[in-house]
Structure 1
């Protein structure tokens, strides 16, 4: 990954743009929380398979669909994959608009309704 830019700053900017999103290190990696309590995205830099990725909450069926469609970019992450979470490699060509959509879905699944309504009001 020496010739590619570090994806962490871009991912961090996306995650921290959400209402009451915070970042702290959890299990040795940057992790983003809603109201400092519930995880919606975890960075995974060479943690399990020498790849740079993130794990996030995903809607039912999304993990299976995306992994089947493009296993070079998506995977079933350890520990949380059985709960439907999605792994997304960011050491490949990255479409940051798509990443923003994936993170938006993750946030909406974890955040309380009031914060989702606040997010929707921002876009209105």
Structure 2
């Protein structure tokens, strides 16, 4: 299920980020894209979000569900661009400043971790094949 991207993300940077995240997430089993009531685009598995995008000025904003341990590691890095996601950071969500300029391989690894933390075991087994 894919939503009209113009509903939430309009800046060039936001659209580029959405395209990258969408390309990666749609390759995972049974992922759906949905716009929530706050206007954030989320990628979900079994109707549970594991990645959310919004817009912050001329750049897209990206939030990823992580484990508390991963979140702590990301937040403790020197000169980190990671920060606790407002309102849901206490549940392990981490956001990334300037996500378009971040190390995309690291973001893909975090997205995969988020998917694995959220997906039911039957879908995780599909990835193992």
How big is the shift at 1:50? Answer: 7.2
When normalised by structure 2's length, the TM-score is 0.79
Cα RMSD over matched residues?
A: 2.4
1:12 equivalenced with 2:22 (yes/no): yes
- Equivalent pair of 1:77/1:87 in contact (CA under 8 Å): yes
The structure that is helix-richer by fraction is 2
The answer to whether structure 1 residue 34 and structure 2 residue 45 are counterparts is yes
Instruction: Provide structure 1 residue ranges, at least 5 long, that are not aligned to the other structure.
Output: none
Match of 1:88 among 80, 96, 107: 96
The separation in 2 between residues aligned to 1:16 and 1:90, in whole angstroms, is: 22
> Structure 1: which 4+ aligned runs deviate by more than 3 Å?
1-5
After TM superposition, the structure 1 stretch with the greater mean CA deviation from structure 2, 84-93 or 6-15, is: 84-93
Aligned length: 118
- Which 10-residue stretch deviates more, 111-120 or 89-98? 89-98
SS of the aligned residue for 2:74 comes to: helix
Distance 1:64 1:50, change over 3 A: farther
110-119 or 88-97, which deviates more: 88-97
CA contact (8 A) 2:62 2:99 kept: no
Identify the match of residue 107 of structure 1 among 109, 115, 125: 115
